[in-house]
A and B are shown apart, each in its own frame.
Chain A
Amino acid sequence: MAEDKTVLPDGVRLTDAQQKRRRGRSIAIACALGALVVLFYVVTIVKMGPEIMSRPL
């Protein structure tokens, strides 16, 4: 049986509003992490030049 994600380990059940806010926070954190990955990738290319892409394997 699937785990009920609205119940925390301490037995507290989240309300609909709390679930919605938690989901919003999770999406925001995921977006921020994704943006950081893209940012560091682009900055690496800018600082080291496109030659970094054509190194011998």
Chain B
Amino acid sequence: MSLVERQDTFTVDGLALEGGEGSVGDYIALLKPRVMSLVIFTAFVGMMLAPGHLHPVLAVVSILCIAIGAGASGALNMWYDADIDAVMSRTAKRPIPAGKITRQEAFGFGMTLSVGSVLTLGLAVNWFAAAFLAFTIFFYVVVYTMWLKRSTPQNIVIGGAAGAFPPMVAWSCVTGDISIESAVLFLIIFMWTPPHFWALALFKCGDYRKAGVPMLPVVAGETATRNQILIYSLALLPIGVLPWVFGFASAAYGAFAGALGLAFLGLAVQVWRHREGDLARKSAVRLFTFSLFYLFMLFAFLLAESLIVGA
């Protein structure tokens, strides 16, 4: 005979009251696996391009720690942003607003993984990389999530740095420091982030407005956002080519990055031109989708070259 039958979820304002409801899958969802996969990929490329040698076991540990650190940042982001996640259609089904995991559980999970990943990286690889990873987590959680995201439309411009650090962290795992080459990898992702997220914000503007997040289209309007997308896409074109300019990628990469950058710019021009109706939405969706392809292909080309040269 049961004394008290527990309800599946106890929620107030979409936040779970009871703990111990989450499945393993819910905890994995807290790590933002799709963001994690991009972090793993860019970090791996950074590691492969770095001069020097790292034992394969330590290389795997490095990538694992960077991935766990990124996942921990995601969990802490969901801990802090549960209130706004609950009102946005894109994020309403995340574990906390869905009432599967409490905020306290997400906080504990995120902090444990943050500390664990930084300490493991420090003990196994080097303390410079560990400190850099700790700074990246701090930057994403405190600077972006807790401070910038709710206070300025420049949130993803500055906050984008957090997503751009992983290849630099991976580079420092090999070399123990940072260099102009790793800064170039950072710069590519850093300049790619604003047009990528503003394209998303254009077709999810209602969501951000409802949640009170001051994304550029909400605060400055869609015209200003389209102008900014165009400016950043223009700036991204030469930056994508920089690995060739700095001599750590071939001329073939330079031509490839230039062609992809022109395609990116072309789609940004389409977004700038089509301002109303279904065509405007389609243009923004197309740019958003292509931006993912752009970043993946650029880093994939760099990776392929490093593998061919190393072989």
Q: Which of A29-57 contact B (CB under 8 A)?
A: 39, 42-43, 46-47
User: Within 8 Å CB of B3, what residues of A?
Assistant: 7, 11-13
Q: Which of A1-29 contact B (CB under 8 A)?
A: 7, 11-15, 17-18, 21-22, 24-25, 27-28
User: Within 8 Å CB of A21, what residues of B?
Assistant: 20-24
Q: Say if the beta carbon of B57 comes within 8 Å of chain A.
A: yes
Whether the pair B24, A13 counts as a contact (CB closer than 8 A) is: no
Nearest to B55 among chain A residues (CB) is: A46
Whether the pair B4, A11 counts as a contact (CB closer than 8 A) is: yes
Whether the pair A43, B22 counts as a contact (CB closer than 8 A) is: no
Give Cα distance in the complex from A7 to B23, angstroms.
19
Q: Say if the beta carbon of B34 comes within 8 Å of chain A.
A: no
Closest Cβ of chain B to A33, distance in Å, is 11
User: Within 8 Å CB of A27, what residues of B?
Assistant: 24
Give Cα distance in the complex from A53 to B214, angstroms.
59
| CB-contact partner of B58 in A11, A12, A17, A46, under 8 A | A46
- Interface bin, chain B: 10 to 19
Total number of residue pairs linking A and B with CB closer than 8 Å? 47
Q: Mark B1-25, 1 if CB is under 8 A from A, else 0.
A: 0111110100000000000111110
Whether the pair B2, A24 counts as a contact (CB closer than 8 A) is: no
Q: Say if the beta carbon of B124 comes within 8 Å of chain A.
A: yes
| CB-contact partner of B6 in A13, A42, A43, under 8 A | A13
Q: Say if the beta carbon of B61 comes within 8 Å of chain A.
A: yes
| CB-contact partner of A18 in B6, B24, B55, under 8 A | B6
Nearest to A12 among chain B residues (CB) is: B4
User: Within 8 Å CB of A47, what residues of B?
Assistant: 58, 124
Whether the pair A12, B21 counts as a contact (CB closer than 8 A) is: no
User: Within 8 Å CB of A14, what residues of B?
Assistant: 6
Q: Mark B104-139, 1 if CB is under 8 A from A, else 0.
A: 000000000000000010011000000000000000
Whether the pair A43, B61 counts as a contact (CB closer than 8 A) is: yes
Closest Cβ of chain A to B28, distance in Å, is 9
Closest Cβ of chain B to A51, distance in Å, is 16
Give Cα distance in the complex from A21 to B25, angstroms.
10
Give Cα distance in the complex from A48 to B124, angstroms.
11
Give Cα distance in the complex from A48 to B4, angstroms.
55
Q: Say if the beta carbon of B248 comes within 8 Å of chain A.
A: no
Closest Cβ of chain B to A3, distance in Å, is 15
**Known contacts A21-B22, A28-B24, A43-B58; 12 further A-B pairs (Cβ under 8 A):** A11-B3, A13-B3, A13-B6, A15-B5, A15-B8, A17-B8, A18-B6, A21-B20, A21-B24, A25-B23, A25-B27, A42-B57
Q: Which residues of A contact B (CB under 8 A)?
A: 7, 11-15, 17-18, 21-22, 24-25, 27-28, 39, 42-43, 46-47
Give me 23 A-to-B residue pairs in the complex whose CB atoms sit less than 8 angstroms apart, sorted by A's number.
Answer: A12-B4, A12-B6, A13-B2, A13-B3, A13-B6, A14-B6, A15-B5, A15-B8, A17-B8, A18-B20, A18-B21, A21-B20, A21-B22, A21-B23, A24-B23, A24-B24, A25-B22, A27-B24, A28-B24, A39-B120, A42-B57, A46-B55, A47-B58
Q: Which residues of B contact A (CB under 8 A)?
A: 2-6, 8, 20-24, 27, 55, 57-58, 61, 120, 123-124
Return the 6 tightest CB-CB contacts between A and B, nearest first. A13-B2, A21-B23, A43-B124, A24-B24, A28-B24, A11-B3
